[in-house]
Structure 1
């Protein structure tokens, strides 16, 4: 089967702004490129001279195909490939100022207006129209058919052939935008670029983001067995092993895939992750949330639903309500007999105790998988597997009770209950990753006992070389914060989306001497690891990266055009208007779904000041000025065009009217979960002119997909006093239906300030401090860029990494180099904006693309 590698070309274009075009002999005239230049500029991109010259050598058919591929890929990344028509087509003009009066008119019309009768509002005759399919009767004298794009009464999409709808006012002209274009360049070799990316993704030391996961699976699906020559000897993250070989199993001969996978699969969990990916499921084994209808009579007796049945509640009139249930199984792909035997043989090769214990960690999944593997059919050939399944199922093949087995974690829990830190550490030494994660806990169990504390610290020191780099970075930032008692503790449970959980912090502070010793050990280990990477002559660092967090819990990150780590802070460009957008589309054969975009306003003490949403289309300040305007609420999103909503926010006016925080809120008001929609995304534009087209891809600052189930998504908070944008990327459970700012304001005013304070406390490492570690370990010279200036600091003769790092952190002006700041040799650059031309072959991390293409991602710096 031939493969055109279209998806690989697309992902390399998205990630590295690289276009791979063959060198042909045609010579297309400049006129063939001019229209493409104009279309690219509408997306905010331009071609480099060498890419333009290469494209002009293609014949007309291939050139047209390449241009279409480039435009579609970039437009899809920004959201510009969708139709964006809000309820009020003349937005931001002609928005009803009295939402309550509009609502009353809609209610009266819904219940009382009849066809062929005078309008009950204006008493005119011959002005009413029956819309399809909702059958609402609307008056064109009371509702402006030139402004509405859907039914004015129910806000659902209607047949636009009705005479009520006046001709479309036409697409607005794109306004002038004052920003540089992002550069697309010619790629040298697609296979080489793919190989580098595969190697980098395999080397990741933490679970990948959804974007990286999708790209990894795409590469495996298109390159197939050719990929095996590119993978390193070690793949640190077990989920990535499953993603690679599970994807290959779908496309290649199982025997060849399993033969290559055997060297990387070492546990039973690896096997079930592999089967999950092969079956199209998530290898994280987090469980799948499904909704089961519970009769109202039964729900009334369930404590979790007690607050729903208040007098007058909507649920009192329903026959049932949805109950979210997490199930630990997935739809199993066909397992042929040869594949089943190969999987059983792989399991049989493991140590019996580790096999059994590992299967017990995911017991529900193994009980389910056993229904398809039929292990007891082969109990003589694979006795260890048969024994393990007997423990998991709690019974043998003859129905007798299964054997008993004590796990590692049961023994660990017993040591904790006895407050025996020495026994606890003795067990944790067997699993260094657990020791790193439970280091703080072990010290608290030691409770100041010098012997026990020394045992914990000794174990930590001896196992530090085996700790994963992300864990070391977490400890380096966390441990200094444990010198004093905290007020709130945040947890980040494993899941498909981020749902930070808060609780009072009841932990006692850790001794300074212990913290100092542990921090020194961690820092020494990190410098040693980074110094083993390829050396660089110079390291250029943006000081603005101090507000960008090192990625953590990437599995729950939203799919986004810009991979902004959770907790990061971006400057809000002065003088521009903020336009938030939401677009979603129901499946072709699916049900109806209603999502809502809102902005909630709070003062300095997080007291609620107002809202802009479907139930208040304009939010006015105390001086009467309009600080936010909604483009209206569409209540369905039929396939294929979907629906879009917008809110314009004037940050300056809001600040002048006593607003400190503006919180973007995305609510699932009713219908299917976010993840079941055909597509759903939202984002933010910064506009010079809000009178231009409703959606202008050139101005998109953030664009992210919606995921998860029903509930409330809190993506970002504007701090209007500091002119900053806090990226939270956080989901709150909300209710089954009717979620809005009013029902969520208690959650918003509790969660948002806690999250902002959490990330401001330096409890998570910033990209700036991570890159300083790389610079101290790998560079001879470090250049800082900030406040429009460049400052350089060179390594002194014979200076070790720790001493250089200490000087970089102090940054004494007397040490700054007087020599020219930048040289022409390739360097390592870590930039907020890639707005500076760099020498060819430089290693570049850039949060936002520009004239220089990023060659690595933030997660590559943690590998």
Structure 2
């Protein structure tokens, strides 16, 4: 049972729960384990190596096998990455020459000659009908034999695995961290929480579960274990019902409710009844999800239990329109529609979060300075009651509103779907923006803990604050949307891997190069296999056993300011339908050889699980000093049902990119500047030496040798930096 959760602990914390076993002479096996890890870009910390060396060899070997499977999957090395052109990136042909070769091979094949001639006679040829196009012409083993060994380089990635506590302690700590997170979790983390919640239901629980989706997942485990439920709104019950039906607890997508057992039906109705009995005003929340409540009421047979749980019956009466319960939103909208901004502000003071989310609208609706003063004063009064995540979101919004030209607005929903529209809003008055920003800074500063000695890795300062796990894809080395991270290397190589579930599926990896004005310079794709900048590995059009595509770029040769990798779905299953799909990039030095995919050169690997047909994981930006940085996007464009190509979406990609690149995101630098006011001292880490005493360390990787009393914040738990 313990080993079941070991991969979760490794993925989320980069710690290996301390293996248990007989004492022995495991030093040789531990060093062999360390060498095997280094081949895929990982390494044992000194403490972990020492711990393993004191165990018997069998325990070390068993631990090594499990851990290697986990870390190889983390970096994308659990599958075979073949390339269409066996020598890639060498000997990639010109696109037209390659197509001509495929045609000649088809004409030489008795089975395909006639159909190929018929197509040629019409002047239009479908490449997918050519036998040698789109499918591997060699085995993975043959591809490996065509490449030299990778030459080790100082810049190769090395991710350290640290020694954790006991397996039970590590599992409990991870459960408490995920369940008690103050920011929403990503899809993968939410699934991990569900697995942990069932295991930990009888153990320690977080003092508070502020994120409602997390609460729904925990409540499902509690209900199945017969424990008491954590409910204080009617929507908590709705989310729990979605969880019980394996539906969407975020309530973004409709859930098809199953018919629950009688005990579950009673538990849900009793929960609704208790919530409304304690606070009848909470009936107002029903209208937001009216249709979902109507469908749930049918599954729960609510009318049969109306006498036993009359307050629950009121919930479904409101959903059916038989009873009226005015929401804050509708009452505030009515006041604003009547021009009563002061009245709306006073009403929303009793719902601080809603007031803050409405600030932009209310300030634009104000007709007088007195009204603006009332709105800002109301915000200042309730700021201590607003969650830290909302405060930070509004702070970022106001900063950008104060500097925006007002030409275009970029929208990104919780699933990463992005679109652009004209911005017709009038500006928010500058004086009120400044006053609110000052109030927010003061409130956030008050909530930050005293860090003591603050030790900061400079590379983490431009990482965007993880205000939502939904703004970050699952994977290794992945940072929140808007983050900026340095890219050091001569060769940049992208990769995508996918495996279809049931239908023939063609993903196309492409790279678009844009100049400083966001105009197209060039692109690499299956229609442009070679350019001055680099090479494409060739088009794979079917992936029953999995397929990979690569793009190799020489950064010194890149024309323009932006490199935009993208994954286009040409045909078949979507990103959420395929069995597996992920994107990543590698960095190499010019003298390094090796296979198309080398795990220890991988800097980032992220899952592709969005709802659009075009994925934009990140963009590479050349700075004024000539250095390249990655800016993280995690976006999906709607695209078309089929035949998405880089040539067809250049304009929409450029428009979207401008909005994201030119937006200022709140970064770690913002919070560390506030924390530094109370820190004694603050030190920028030089990458080598660490202080002797306890520190609060914030960085991309945990250094070895930190005092055991230190607080450590890395991308894996950076959400803990967000104040409650």
For residue 548 of structure 2, the aligned residue among 633, 638, 644 is 644
Match of 2:201 in 1: 224
1:730 partnered with 2:635: yes
- The whole-number CA distance in structure 2 between the counterparts of 1:728 and 1:167 is 33
- 1:681 touches 1:706 (CA, 8 Å); kept in 2? yes
For residue 152 of structure 1, the aligned residue among 127, 132, 147 is 132
- The whole-number CA distance in structure 1 between the counterparts of 2:388 and 2:402 is 23
1:586 partnered with 2:500: yes
Match of 2:255 in 1: 329
For residue 446 of structure 1, the aligned residue among 366, 384, 394 is 366
Match of 1:794 in 2: none
Match of 1:384 in 2: 311
Match of 1:348 in 2: 273
For residue 680 of structure 2, the aligned residue among 777, 780, 788 is 780
- The whole-number CA distance in structure 2 between the counterparts of 1:602 and 1:646 is 20
- 2:172 touches 2:200 (CA, 8 Å); kept in 1? no
Match of 2:150 in 1: 174
1:659 partnered with 2:577: no
- The whole-number CA distance in structure 2 between the counterparts of 1:116 and 1:506 is 60
**Cα deviations by residue, 1:547-597 (Å, 9 ceiling, x for unpaired):** 2211234324211212401111111204x200100001112xx11111010
- 2:417 touches 2:636 (CA, 8 Å); kept in 1? yes
- 1:286 touches 1:494 (CA, 8 Å); kept in 2? no
Match of 2:289 in 1: 362
1:50 partnered with 2:47: yes
Distance 1:628 1:182, change over 3 A: same
- The whole-number CA distance in structure 1 between the counterparts of 2:318 and 2:627 is 59
| Coordinate RMSD, CA, aligned | 3.0
Match of 1:82 in 2: 79
For residue 628 of structure 1, the aligned residue among 525, 529, 534 is 534
Match of 2:519 in 1: 607
**Cα deviations by residue, 1:237-294 (Å, 9 ceiling, x for unpaired):** 1111112122444xx43xx23x1x2xx311111001111112212210101xxxxxxx
Distance 1:635 1:421, change over 3 A: same
Match of 1:812 in 2: none
Aligned-residue offset at 1:168:
6.9
For residue 460 of structure 1, the aligned residue among 359, 362, 379 is 379
- The whole-number CA distance in structure 1 between the counterparts of 2:115 and 2:290 is 65
For residue 70 of structure 2, the aligned residue among 69, 73, 96 is 73
Secondary structure of the residue aligned to 1:674 is coil
Aligned-residue offset at 1:60:
4.3
Distance 1:754 1:118, change over 3 A: closer
Match of 1:519 in 2: 437
Query: How many residues get paired?
Result: 708
Aligned-residue offset at 1:598:
0.5
Aligned-residue offset at 1:494:
3.6
Distance 1:697 1:434, change over 3 A: same
- 2:534 touches 2:552 (CA, 8 Å); kept in 1? yes
Secondary structure of the residue aligned to 2:192 is helix
Does 403-412 or 429-438 show the bigger shift? Answer: 403-412
- 2:467 touches 2:722 (CA, 8 Å); kept in 1? no
- 1:825 touches 1:839 (CA, 8 Å); kept in 2? yes
- The whole-number CA distance in structure 2 between the counterparts of 1:393 and 1:189 is 52
Match of 2:617 in 1: 715
Greater relative CO, 1 or 2 (CA 8 Å, sep 6+): 2
Match of 2:429 in 1: 510
- The whole-number CA distance in structure 2 between the counterparts of 1:111 and 1:674 is 36
Aligned-residue offset at 1:158:
7.7
Match of 2:120 in 1: none
Match of 1:497 in 2: 416
- The whole-number CA distance in structure 1 between the counterparts of 2:410 and 2:710 is 38
For residue 277 of structure 1, the aligned residue among 236, 243, 248 is 243
- The whole-number CA distance in structure 2 between the counterparts of 1:441 and 1:726 is 30
Secondary structure of the residue aligned to 1:496 is coil
- 2:41 touches 2:159 (CA, 8 Å); kept in 1? yes
Aligned-residue offset at 1:823:
4.2
1:427 partnered with 2:423: no
Aligned-residue offset at 1:637:
1.0
Aligned-residue offset at 1:601:
1.4
User: Counterparts in 2 of 1:765-776, with a 5 A limit?
Assistant: 765-776=666-677
Aligned-residue offset at 1:382:
1.9
Match of 1:100 in 2: 96
Secondary structure of the residue aligned to 1:185 is strand
- The whole-number CA distance in structure 1 between the counterparts of 2:370 and 2:112 is 91
Aligned-residue offset at 1:117:
8.1
Report the TM-score when normalising by structure 1.
Answer: 0.77
Aligned-residue offset at 1:435:
0.4
- 1:598 touches 1:666 (CA, 8 Å); kept in 2? yes
Aligned-residue offset at 1:539:
0.5
1:826 partnered with 2:687: no
**Cα deviations by residue, 1:282-308 (Å, 9 ceiling, x for unpaired):** 210101xxxxxxxxxxxxxxxxxxxxx
Secondary structure of the residue aligned to 1:780 is coil
Match of 2:122 in 1: none
Does 466-475 or 51-60 show the bigger shift? Answer: 51-60
**Cα deviations by residue, 1:169-223 (Å, 9 ceiling, x for unpaired):** 3664232232373332322223333333333333322212234323322321333
For residue 187 of structure 1, the aligned residue among 157, 164, 185 is 164
Q: Which runs of 5+ in 2 are unaligned?
A: 118-126
Distance 1:653 1:484, change over 3 A: closer
Secondary structure of the residue aligned to 1:692 is coil
Distance 1:617 1:474, change over 3 A: same
Distance 1:170 1:628, change over 3 A: closer
Distance 1:136 1:662, change over 3 A: closer
User: Counterparts in 2 of 1:290-305, with a 5 A limit?
Assistant: none
**Cα deviations by residue, 1:461-489 (Å, 9 ceiling, x for unpaired):** 22111111012123333334444663245
Aligned-residue offset at 1:29:
5.4
Distance 1:569 1:168, change over 3 A: closer
Match of 1:235 in 2: 209
Larger radius of gyration: 1
Aligned-residue offset at 1:491:
4.8
1:861 partnered with 2:687: no
Does 675-684 or 365-374 show the bigger shift? Answer: 365-374
Report the TM-score when normalising by structure 2.
Answer: 0.91
**Cα deviations by residue, 1:56-86 (Å, 9 ceiling, x for unpaired):** 4444443322111110111110001111011
- The whole-number CA distance in structure 2 between the counterparts of 1:77 and 1:450 is 55
Q: Which runs of 5+ in 1 are unaligned?
A: 122-133, 138-150, 288-327, 395-401, 621-626, 791-820, 848-853
For residue 110 of structure 2, the aligned residue among 106, 110, 114 is 114
- The whole-number CA distance in structure 1 between the counterparts of 2:552 and 2:18 is 41
- The whole-number CA distance in structure 1 between the counterparts of 2:248 and 2:481 is 22
- The whole-number CA distance in structure 1 between the counterparts of 2:692 and 2:586 is 36
- The whole-number CA distance in structure 1 between the counterparts of 2:598 and 2:477 is 17
- The whole-number CA distance in structure 2 between the counterparts of 1:690 and 1:712 is 32
- 2:345 touches 2:374 (CA, 8 Å); kept in 1? yes
- 1:485 touches 1:505 (CA, 8 Å); kept in 2? no
Secondary structure of the residue aligned to 1:645 is strand
User: Counterparts in 2 of 1:545-564, with a 5 A limit?
Assistant: 545-564=460-479
- 1:542 touches 1:768 (CA, 8 Å); kept in 2? no
Secondary structure of the residue aligned to 2:549 is strand
- 1:246 touches 1:276 (CA, 8 Å); kept in 2? no
